[in-house]
Structure 1
Amino acid sequence: MYQPLEAVGPAAGRVVAFARGSGSSMLIAAVPRLTGAAGDPDLWSGTTLPVPADAPRQWTCALTGESHLTGEDGRLRLDRLFGVLPAALLLSDPDLE
């Protein structure tokens, strides 16, 4: 089942994201919309993506190989997530939990 994720912050309306899976086996896909200014790194500052409550904290982006850690608040920072590419396909990394 796909679970929509709603971003929070100044650019919340400029991202579409969903999660699939449960527990330690999960995927998150996130892409920008209205991409005219998507290349501006400051655009995503202060905007976060909450992950499901049962999601792991450690993620690896299948597109860039970068590791991402969910903050103590249960959110991923979009300025970091979209720092290399304006898209993310995150795979949970249960071995690092």
Structure 2
Amino acid sequence: MGRKVITKATVNEMLEAGQREYQLTDSDIVTALGKEYAQERGLRLIPAGSAPAAAAASTAAAQAGAEATAAEIRSRIVEALGYEPEGLDGAIRRGLQ
């Protein structure tokens, strides 16, 4: 893959396309004006090797959702049986994987 030069015009194209973040690669070059323009306009340029914020937020949301689902399943099983079976939490975790 070739180098990509991120200029003011490139940033403008990204913004017009609705982008709010751009994951840089090791070979990308960002001009000083491109960087300044991106900051002014709210386009986040993410350095190579960094996880995008959206991905991190998505992972956190998925984890929270899985925990809520596990809690709901656990609650319903205990309610239906009238007691908590041994190893219930482990069985639920395995079932959700």
TM-score, reference length from structure 1: 0.23
| Structure with greater proportional strand content | 1
- Of structures 1 and 2, the larger Rg is shown by 2
